């Protein structure tokens, strides 16, 4: 029986991934080159780090003032994110999970300050009994460590927990940890091969949580 719901953060609770790409795409365009979305998507959700500065220098053949560019791009990125609401269905799932008596957590490859800051600014941090981030583990997703420490802290077993993820790395981490996993891709992850999730939804608003739990438990977790 599923008694715990664990959200990924970036791309699931708030769409931080599309603004991240778009703000870098603006930078690349200002230098007369293109940042391919297919390349960018390979590095979403943890795992290997993409050196976006090195790639820009390779495409332009010029050295880049990394410090100045970092600050300029970061301001633009944060401005976009501040205007972003919670993704559709997120608040409904939080409230329905609490009504059903499920424990709520977040497991993210991003930093604690990033995740908790955005959750607090939108007044939803208080709903989660566990928030695990890159600060808490030696290895981020696709390693299962984040999910394993999350379920341990929340006093449940992996087979009783459901992860909501949007990327290959996140789904892989959840499944390797032994959780159920539902994929909810966004604009940056929609073309990823995410067939190893137990179920795919285009939006959390497509299916009430109670119906989702019934469907998953009747089918059982995929390998």
Closest CA to 105 of 2, 5, 212, 209: 5
* 87 Cβ neighbours under 8 A, 6+ residues apart: 12, 13, 14, 15, 184, 186, 203, 204
With beta carbons less than 8 A apart as the criterion, state whether 95 and 208 touch. Answer: no
Question: What span, in angstroms and rounded, lies between the C-alpha atoms of 188 and 38?
Answer: 9
Residues that are catalytic: 8, 10
Question: What span, in angstroms and rounded, lies between the C-alpha atoms of 23 and 76?
Answer: 6
Strand partners, 200: 183
Question: What span, in angstroms and rounded, lies between the C-alpha atoms of 162 and 219?
Answer: 14
Count of positions (residues) in the chain: 223
Q: Please, what sign has the CA dihedral across residues 219, 13, 133, 55?
A: positive
């Amino acid at each position: 029986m599923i008694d715990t719901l664990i959200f990924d953060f970036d791309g699931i609770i708030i769409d931080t991934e599309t603004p991240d790409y778009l703000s870098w795409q603006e930078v690349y365009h200002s230098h007369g080159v293109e940042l391919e979305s297919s390349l960018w998507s390979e590095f979403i959700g943890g795992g290997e780090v993409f050196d976006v500065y090195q790639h820009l220098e390779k495409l332009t053949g010029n050295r880049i003032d990394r410090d100045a560019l970092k600050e300029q791009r970061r301001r633009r990125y944060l401005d976009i994110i501040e205007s972003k609401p919670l993704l559709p269905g997120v608040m409904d799932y939080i409230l329905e999970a609490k009504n059903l008596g499920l424990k709520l957590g977040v497991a993210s490859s991003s930093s604690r300050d990033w995740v908790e800051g955005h959750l607090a600014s939108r007044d939803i941090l208080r709903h989660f009994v566990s928030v695990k981030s890159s600060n808490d583990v030696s290895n981020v997703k696709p390693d299962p460590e984040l999910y394993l420490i999350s379920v341990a802290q929340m006093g449940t077993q992996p087979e009783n927990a459901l992860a909501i993820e949007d990327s290959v790395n996140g789904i892989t981490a959840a499944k390797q940890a032994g959780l159920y996993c539902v994929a909810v891709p966004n604009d940056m992850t929609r073309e990823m091969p995410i067939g190893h999730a137990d179920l795919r939804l285009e939006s959390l608003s497509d299916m009430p949580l109670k119906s989702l739990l019934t469907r998953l438990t009747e089918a059982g977790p995929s390998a």
